[in-house]
Amino acid sequence: MITRYPFETLGHADHGWLNARHHFSFARYYNPERLGFGRLLVINDDRIAAHRGFSPHPHDNMEIITYVRAGAISHEDSMGNAGRTVAGDVQVMSAGTGVVHGEFNREAEETTLYQIWIEPNARNVAPRWDSKAFPKEPVTDALPLLVSGMPEHAERGALFIHQDAAIYGGRLRDGTTVTQPIKHQAYVLASLGSVKLGDVTLQQGDGAEITGDAAVTITALGDAEVLLIDVPVH
């Protein structure tokens, strides 16, 4: 079953320098019917103004994934890590026993990104941070694997997380159709353009839950970018 969540129905917070849409309850946005999706707890669709960002703040026992859609984000943390992740690339932070980090848009343009939180399957692990560049060419056969803690993906070069979950994502040219297998249940994000999931159309910014299906067929209605997050139920 596919359930669409239109962009205009998502939680919204405009802080001036940060314009955010929340797919699930987060901060001051609370919706008792949107408290996460299995082990997926947060998806924030963030627009961060030039030369602004999130000042250092703490986290623990959470897998925090950032997918940059436009611009770039610069990361610094209490472990001594520093890095810059650009559009189409991904960074992952396992907060584990605790870490303090800041995320800044040091660019001269607005940065847009998805911030994704997944509940880990192991608590109080050593905190860590990593990032990776991925190919930017449109795909024709399958969405690239970006992030995974699934044992069967151990040798596929994805960024690691502490959970039996995976994130796939990439660009599709107009008319391209791919079939994506689903291990658990999936949440799909229309990052750019419009896509069709079976008989359900997603416009840019929409999200969709997929439950009870072992695969989904994704068709690009124009040039598009899509993410699929495969996560266990509780």
The Cα-based distances of 128 to 77, 86, 201 in angstroms read 10, 20, 37
* The CATH number of domain 145-231, selected from 2.60.120.10, 3.10.20.30, 3.90.25.10, 3.30.9.10: 2.60.120.10
The pLDDT value given to residue 135: 86
The SS3 call for residue 187 is strand
Per-block average pLDDT, block size 10, for the chain (234 residues)?
A: 98 97 96 97 98 97 98 97 97 98 97 98 97 93 96 96 98 97 98 97 98 98 98 94
Residue 73 near residue 85 (C-beta atoms within 8 A): yes
* Helix and strand numbers, DSSP H then E, in the chain: 0, 20
Instruction: Say which CATH class 10-132 falls into.
Output: mainly beta
Cβ neighbourhood burial of 205 (10 Å; 0-12, 13-18, 19+): middle
The pLDDT value given to residue 208: 98
The pLDDT value given to residue 223: 98
What whole-number distance in Å separates Cα of residue 74 and Cα of residue 86? 9
The Cα-based distances of 179 to 82, 91, 168, 213 in angstroms read 36, 26, 12, 12
Statement: the pTM of the whole predicted model exceeds 0.85? yes
The pLDDT value given to residue 209: 98
Domain 10-132 and domain 145-231, same fold? Reply is yes
Domain ranges of the chain: 10-132, 145-231
What whole-number distance in Å separates Cα of residue 147 and Cα of residue 140? 20
